[in-house]
Structures are given as structure tokens and as C-alpha cells.
Amino acid sequence: MTTLNDLAKIAQVNVSTISRYLSGELKVTPATEARIKDAIAQTNYQPNLLARSLRKGKTDTVAVLVPDIYQIGISGIIAGIDKRISSSSKTLMILMTGNNRKRETEAIQELCYRRIDGIIIVGKAFEGEEPDQGIETLESASIPRVLVSRNFAESNIVEIAPDQADGAFQLTEHLINCGYRKIGLILGSRNHPSDLLKLAGYREALQARGLEFNEDLVKEGHYTTENINRIVSKLLHEEVDAIFCATDTMAISALQFVQFSGLSVPGDIAIAGYGGGGWPDMPVPNLTTVDAHIKKLGNTAASLLLDIIDGKDDFVMLNICPVHLKVGTTT
């Protein structure tokens, strides 16, 4: 393995000079720079990034922690984060928790051990009985952090989130205006603040239009196709005329199950989602959904994190972003 001593001998400079040049701390003459670059090319020198990180006290790496990458909304947020981080000097690392709280805590502890420069946590793991210790670990390690759609409440951590309650209100109101009266709601999990806000918006819209709220029409899908098929089947037996899903991914699964059951959308039943991330290259109708501007959400979250890493401290702690209804052909 080529060492700095080897490079220094070939380039005819001292080790301190070449070390400071490679770290960006020292400018050298064009002639000296040419000799150093020639030495690197001759030896195929690869810098020890870990050692450099330890010396600098940072890794130039940020991480995004997500429950999974298969939901349209989450993948859209990651795309927005990646676009912003790729324009900086940082490298992006993506980790999944599988919606498991223990895995989330372990991942955060590992990232702190690796001296990550900053972390963005998207959503909240809801499976498992373990307490929510990951955030406490981050705080004790003084790691810069930004939350995306996690708590929806004021805290000492910067968070950015779409206006879930207003989006659910807009969508439910739209369904009512279209003539639907028995509207089923499929949440991801009642343990997540995001879904509780959607439930509140749904309920408020029903009550505002004089319709009774029926607890039996509210189900938990836990984001899996198997669960969605079972729940949609139950809602069809309840003779609902519309189904509002808390994510676009669940809405697509519901739509496919309804169509495979021989029913038409929206002729026999309306289907609507939430997120507005789009589903490219799928031969399905244009889904009615709430556009949460997820790529912009991720981009802004990354910008906030980079500002925190740079030492800025003048932030709005809870940033609730507006959403808007996108009417498609499924309602």
C-alpha cells in the first residue's frame, strides 16, 4: 500500500506538505502540484478516508433513516434529499428500519458511533414495544438532525411536515362533493401522528357536512398489500361507496383489488390516496390524491440539515407545509 511517505519521496516534498495539500489546507506552486499529481497517478494512491475523517472530526457523510423505501411518498422524499445532498460536498447514506423501533434505535446508535455529520429521520417506526430512544441518543451525541413527518409537534428538533389534517379534510370534502356518503378510511397505523392527523381531518370534513362519523369504516392497513386486500374486502361488504387511503401505495393496492373483484372505478366505487408522489409506468387510472410536494419536502429537509451542520441556529422548529388536492379519474 502506498503511504504519504512514498508520495512525498516521489514528489520531492516533505510529508507535511503533501498531507496538507491533500486535505485542502495548503496551496502549492503549479510545479509542486504537478509533481504531487504525477506521484499519485504513478502509485494509484488511495487516501485513508477514515483516518482523514477522524482528524477532521467529521465524515462528510449524512444519513437518511426511513421505515422502508418502497412507499411512493418515502421514495419521493429520498429523491428530494438526494438531489440537495448531491449538490453539496456530502455523501448520502440510506438506511431502512423495516418499521421496527429496535432497528431504528440500533441504526441511530451505529450512525452516532460512525460520527455521521448529520441525520434526517423520515417518518416513525411503529412496530415493537421498545421505547423511542433513538432521538435521545442523537441529542446526547449532539448530532445535527432534522425530522420529516415524524412528530408534528413543537420540540427542540427541527421538523418539516405536510399539513396532513388539512389534506385529509380537502380530500374527504371532495369525495362528499362528488356525492359519496359512505367513505371508508384506511390508515397506515393509529400509532403514527401523521395518520392521527389524517383521521382528524377526515372526521372534521364529515361533521362539517352533517355526515355521521362511523368508527367501523376506519381501518389500519399497515402498508402491506395482504392487509389492504383483506380490509378492502371488508369495506366492500360494508357497502362503502368510496375508499380514502392514507398513502398512494395503499390506494394503488386497493384499486387493483377492486378491479380484480370485477368492480369499476369510479363507477362502482371511488378510490383516493395521499402523497401525490406519482406512480410512473403503471397502467392504472390517474389517482385522485393529495399532493404533499414530497420531493420539495425532502429537498428542504436536506437544506435545513446542511445549514445546521454549518452552525446556523435561527430556525423555525416545526415547519408545516401546505398541500393541495389533485383530482384524477378514480373519483
Q: Is it the case that residue 192 has pLDDT exceeding 90?
A: no
Same domain, 213 and 259: yes
What percent of the chain stands above pLDDT 90? Answer: 52
pLDDT at 263: 95
pLDDT at 209: 95
Same domain, 256 and 168: yes
53 occurs within a structural domain: no
Same domain, 227 and 110: no
| CA-based end-to-end distance of the chain | 64
Same domain, 276 and 188: yes
Give the mean model confidence (pLDDT) for residues 229-235: 95
pLDDT at 239: 94
Give the mean model confidence (pLDDT) for residues 220-225: 83
52 occurs within a structural domain: no
Residue of 312 and 185 predicted with greater confidence:
185
54 occurs within a structural domain: no
Query: Which pLDDT tens digit goes with each residue over 114-147?
Result: 778 999 999 887 776 666 677 777 777 788 999 9
* Strands 289-291, 324-326: pairing kind: antiparallel
328 occurs within a structural domain: no
Strand order in the sheet with 218-220: 218-220, 183-187, 242-245, 270-272
pLDDT at 175: 98
Same domain, 274 and 224: yes
Same domain, 158 and 298: yes
pLDDT-derived band at 249, boundaries 50, 70, 90: confident
280 occurs within a structural domain: yes
pLDDT at 50: 47
pLDDT at 52: 54
Domain that holds residue 26: 4-47
Same domain, 250 and 204: yes
Same domain, 155 and 303: yes
Same domain, 40 and 84: no
Same domain, 169 and 73: no
331 occurs within a structural domain: no
Question: Number of structural domains, the chain?
Answer: 3
Same domain, 193 and 283: yes
pLDDT-derived band at 89, boundaries 50, 70, 90: confident
Q: Is it the case that residue 265 has pLDDT exceeding 60?
A: yes
